[in-house]
Amino acid sequence: MFAGKRITVSAIRRKNNAIEYYEERKVSRPVLQKLKKIPFVRGTVALIEAASVGNKHLNFASDRLDVHPDDDGEIESTEKTSKMAMIFGVAAVGVFAFLFGNILFTAIPVFIAELFSPIFPGHVGQNLLEGFFKFLILVGYIYLITFLPLIKRVFQYHGAEHKVINTYEAGKPLTVENVQEHSRLHYRCGSSFMLFTVIIGVMIYLLIPFDNIIERVVHRLLLIPVVLGVSYEVLQGTNKLRNIPVLKWLGLPGLWLQLLTTKQPKDDQVEVSIASFEKMLEREKTLEEEEKVGGRIV
């Protein structure tokens, strides 16, 4: 999936080898547009928007996984009859994922660190140990799911997306050969964002004292928007500084994590990513021209 200023586009390869596209126009909401201009707030807004749009693209792809185009009528029928169920299903999964994520990456590291309080006592020691366990959980989880064939394929497409972006930013023609020569790592990746939340979280938590473990967990939950907001700004900053000697090293931790969340793609996967990116550029140009025509006074 690739996102432009006005539209997001994803491409999938069907069983008959044809490439099919899904497009989602970006809706301009005045309140959100204002929030996205506020530093440390725009990160949370961007994350929510990305999750919402990404869900739609994933539904499109998963509904057509291993389904021949000749059977698309069944997909459309199912989508119409179960639309309400799907909405509630996605909402339930979203709530569960949110709660599970908070327990996994917030409460569990806190309790594990508390077990080692006799060895690592004090506010600073406990915070550093908590961050260490969060890092282990994050990396361990990603490492384990890479053994799932479907996840490995997703990570290959993830690598293909990065290669396409890197090739485009280098000003090279988007051919399979050119794309494969470029890195599968990129500074703006969401994987880097995940790691930054762990690192930034430790720094912010050091500023907030706690008297007991319950208070500590509550603090962590309340500070989630703050950690997300600061992490987003750091991610954007490392991307802007990536061509400056010495300062470019600030983004290396995120790039190292991408060694797990991206895999070397096959040529046919690169072809799909190129097609998706070029379709996005094409649609962006068309929509821009339509806006210019619509804005003219006749």
Mean pLDDT for the stretch of residues 73-80: 57
Using CA atoms, how far residue 163 sits from 8, 94, 182, 247, 272, in Å, is 18, 30, 5, 23, 12
Tokens of 187: 């500074």
CA distance 23 to 44: 23
| Residue where the block lists tokens 């293909």 | 160
- Residue 10 pairs in a beta bridge with 22
Identify the weakest region by mean pLDDT among 8-12, 222-226, 263-267: 222-226
Amino acid 263: pLDDT: 96
160 versus 100: the higher-pLDDT residue is: 160
Q: Quote the pLDDT of residue 60.
A: 84
pLDDT digit string, tens, across residues 2-31: 988 899 999 999 888 899 999 999 887 788
**Mean pLDDT: which of 81-85, 176-180, 257-261 is highest?**
176-180
pLDDT at site 76: 59
**CA dist 267 to 82, 106, 259, Å?**
36, 40, 19
Residue 243: predicted pLDDT: 76
Q: Helix count (H) and strand count (E) of the chain?
A: 13, 3
Burial letters 106-121, b for 16+ CB under 10 A, else e = beebbebbeeeeeebe
* Least-confidence region, from 146-160, 165-179, 186-200: 186-200
Q: What are the structural domain ranges in the chain?
A: 2-60+84-279
Give the model's pLDDT for residue 95.
Answer: 45
> pTM (2 decimals)?
0.81
Compute the half-sphere exposure of residue 257: CA atoms within 13 Å on the CB side of its CA.
24
Mean pLDDT score of the chain, rounded to an integer? 83
Residue 174 clears pLDDT 90, i.e. is over it: yes
In the predicted structure, residue 64 carries a pLDDT above the cut 90: no
- Give the residue-averaged pLDDT of 150-166: 94
User: pLDDT-based confidence at 136, cuts 50/70/90?
Assistant: very high
Q: What's the CA gap between 174 and 273, in Å, rounded?
A: 10
Tokens coding 255: 């790039």
Residue pair 49/32 in contact by the 8 Å Cβ criterion: yes
